[in-house]
Amino acid sequence: MTGNEAMAEAAICAGCRAYFGYPITPQNEILEYMATRMPGVGGAFIQAESEVAAINMCYGASAAGVRTMTSSSSPGISLKMEGISYLAGADLPCVIINVARGGPGLGNISPAQGDYFQATKGGGHGDYRMIVLGPATIAEAIEMVMLAFDLADKYRVPVMILSDGMLGQMMEPITLPEPVDPASLPGKPWALTGARGRHPNVVTSYAIDPGDLSQINTKRQSRYHQIEEKEVRYRETETSDATIVIVAYGTVARIARTAVRMARSQGIKLGMMQPITLWPFPYAPLRTLSSRVNTILTVEMSAGQMIEDVRLAVADRAETPFYGEVGGLVTTPKDILREVKRNVS
């Protein structure tokens, strides 16, 4: 199974019963898989007229209480940003997969990590946050899609899987999780199901009175703080005796794992920290780590975006060099090892 198909099947396993999308390379397999799979489980599938329409269909389906997903790739995700802001503003759960590609503009269809800022720092308008998960392998992607639906429902927030063209297109043997029966999921008393025997439910992000909006936003921010406290996830590899540590997420983390093995075989004390949640970012664990190593090398397939979060965490406790590939070029373990050596000498 390709990563794209595996993420689509994982969504079905998680109880997703509404998918709306629009073709864009390199994520088409998700749309195509859902077109085949969704009718069989009694779910809704529409190839929408645009990414804008697709995310707004998600807004409607999610408001009606169903686990809902859309997917796209970078330029299409830009179009979805309006809808993501509305989802956040109306406290609606939704899972969005970004199979990221080279940018800006039309860029190209090669894997890239240039959408980190957009995913983790806002992207759409207004004071909102979105949980962002960065899988490095297909197995991780499956696990994270399952987790994404749970987190989205638990906190009533949109959750993004920030994947890339490499992960979406590659094939790996996988084990699928136990499917969740949507009927077994906790109820959503806020959902639009018809005002029968209860007061009407309203789903809106609109509050004309500044006092009201302030109150609503403050309440939402406190939920974000809860997420920051409870949901930070990361993985450390060979860090216990490391003098230099790579910070990398997604596809780069996968490549860097090989670099760590190569370095270790040459006697270099290299470790790695892989943020799993890009928001909330693992600031505290990275801060702790930075006080016992000399160098934290950030590697990205971008001109340097996550590096800003790394430097916030590390401050001047360690050196914070950066190595990046841009334009859809994929870095190699050899390239990373070269950068490591340059920074340990």
Bridge pairing between strands 322-324 and 295-300:
parallel
Radius of gyration for the alpha carbons in the chain, expressed in angstroms and rounded: 20
Instruction: State the minimum distance, in angstroms, from the CB of residue 101 to other proteins.
Output: 23
Instruction: State the minimum distance, in angstroms, from the CB of residue 156 to other proteins.
Output: 15
Nearer to other proteins, 47 or 258 (CB): 47
Nearer to other proteins, 53 or 232 (CB): 53
Bridge pairing between strands 94-100 and 158-164:
parallel
Tokens of 200: 């009407």
Instruction: State the minimum distance, in angstroms, from the CB of residue 190 to other proteins.
Output: 10
What sign does the CA torsion over 181, 183, 187, 191 have? positive
DSSP state of 17: -
Rounded distance between C-alpha atoms, residue 51 and residue 27, angstroms: 13
Nearer to other proteins, 52 or 170 (CB): 52
Nearer to other proteins, 21 or 103 (CB): 21
Instruction: State the minimum distance, in angstroms, from the CB of residue 20 to other proteins.
Output: 7
Rounded distance between C-alpha atoms, residue 208 and residue 151, angstroms: 29
Nearer to other proteins, 196 or 229 (CB): 196
Instruction: State the minimum distance, in angstroms, from the CB of residue 41 to other proteins.
Output: 13
Nearer to other proteins, 105 or 196 (CB): 196
Binding site for other proteins (CB under 8 A): 17-18, 20, 44, 46, 48-50, 52-54, 56-66, 68, 82-83, 86, 90, 192-197, 200-206, 208
Instruction: State the minimum distance, in angstroms, from the CB of residue 239 to other proteins.
Output: 44
Q: Give the distance from CA 262 to its chain's centroid.
A: 28
Nearer to other proteins, 38 or 318 (CB): 38
> For residue 245, which of 276, 203, 274, 202 has the smallest C-alpha distance?
274
DSSP of 175-196: -PPPPPPGGGSPP-TTS-S--S
Tokens of 306: 């996550």
Q: Which residues contact 292 (CB under 8 A, 6 or more apart)?
A: none
Instruction: State the minimum distance, in angstroms, from the CB of residue 48 to other proteins.
Output: 7
